[in-house]
Amino acid sequence: MTSAVQELLSLLQLERLEDNLFRGQSRDIGTRYVFGGQVLGQALSAAQQTVDASRAAHSLHAYFLRAGDIEHPIIYSVERTRDGGSFSMRRVTAIQHGQPIFNFSASFQVAENGIEHQLPMPSVPAPGDLNPAAPLPAEVYDKLPAKLQRWFGNDGPFEFRHVYPRDELNPPKRPPFQHVWFRLAERAPDNPALQRALLAYSSDFHLIGTTMLPHGVSFLQSNVQVASLDHAMWFHRPFRVDQWLLYSCDSPTAQGARGLARGTIYSEDGRLVASTTQEGLVRVRAERGQD
């Protein structure tokens, strides 16, 4: 197993301090602050450890309150809000330096049979027909700050294959949607709770970026400020994160320095396994010298 995958799995296996209190470490993936997907995955991991294994998470809703400090651990306090006959509810507060940085709620359900339908998967090339992302030219990569080198490195825990590749250093304007195949780079344990935490982690990639596509701006630009404000996710059907999944994202609107993005996640055989929504802060300031 690669060091990046093992590190991610370790991040999601929290240290239990008390019955409802957990501690998680952070991983620097090249972002200025703690990656939002890390807090999502760790909060879900904490909540799952307080629920009977017969109940699986089917939805989560979260707000990002403050930027997370990569250099310090995060404490997760779980409130056992309700355990009913079929559903359980948990609330989680992530705390750093004595202040809440993240609020999270998740609902869990006993497996049941019922009516079933889904929208079809978009018609896109299969992951095997797409090339992996090309590395940046050495003369460009070597000039990037150390954090961005880490972000653009090819040794992360996930593989991504974009149906419509985009140059974040020179972004063109294009319609607000994208399709990205992704999978964990190594096989993960056969643990459905861990698989859901891994999918929550990976679901934070690409959403806010979709809101910027029509405007030809990138999070790499010095006059652009981007941050996750909230995140919601629904788990529909079984999946494995170490098998190819298609993330189909679109952004119906951006206004008031906020952009809204939606995502649907499909297995390679076309099953809709999860859905997401996220609103993000997207501030574009005028460059110096411009009116």
- pLDDT score at 188: 94
Instruction: Identify the CATH number of the domain defined by range 3-110+129-284.
Output: 2.40.160.210
Give, to the nearest 10 degrees, the angle between helix 3-11 and helix 36-48.
50
Which of 126-135, 177-186, 276-285 comes out lowest in average pLDDT? 126-135
The string of pLDDT tens digits covering residues 87-100 is: 999 999 999 999 99
> Residue 291: pLDDT above 50?
no
Count CB neighbours of 167 within 10 A: 9
- pLDDT score at 62: 98
Q: What is the pTM of this model?
A: 0.93
Pick left, alpha or beta for residue 69 (phi over 0 → left; psi -120 to 50 → alpha; otherwise beta): beta
- pLDDT score at 29: 84
CA 27 – CA 23 distance, rounded (Å): 14
The string of pLDDT tens digits covering residues 105-156 is: 999 999 999 999 999 999 999 999 998 887 777 777 777 777 677 767 667 8
The string of pLDDT tens digits covering residues 9-33 is: 999 999 999 999 999 999 888 888 9
Taking alpha carbons only, the member of 191, 168, 186, 170 closest to residue 178 is 168
The string of pLDDT tens digits covering residues 224-278 is: 999 999 999 999 999 999 999 999 999 999 999 999 999 999 999 999 999 999 9
- pLDDT score at 144: 76
Domain definitions of the chain by residue range:
3-110+129-284
> Residue 288: pLDDT above 70?
no
Mean pLDDT, rounded, for 163-173: 89
> Residue 103: pLDDT above 80?
yes
Mean pLDDT, rounded, for 207-216: 96
CA 39 – CA 32 distance, rounded (Å): 14
Point out the residues that are catalytic.
204, 228, 278
Judged on CB neighbours under 10 Å (0-12, 13-18, 19+), 282 is buried
Return the sign of the alpha-carbon dihedral for residues 263, 195, 197, 77.
positive
Can you tell me whether residue 79 is helix, strand or coil?
strand
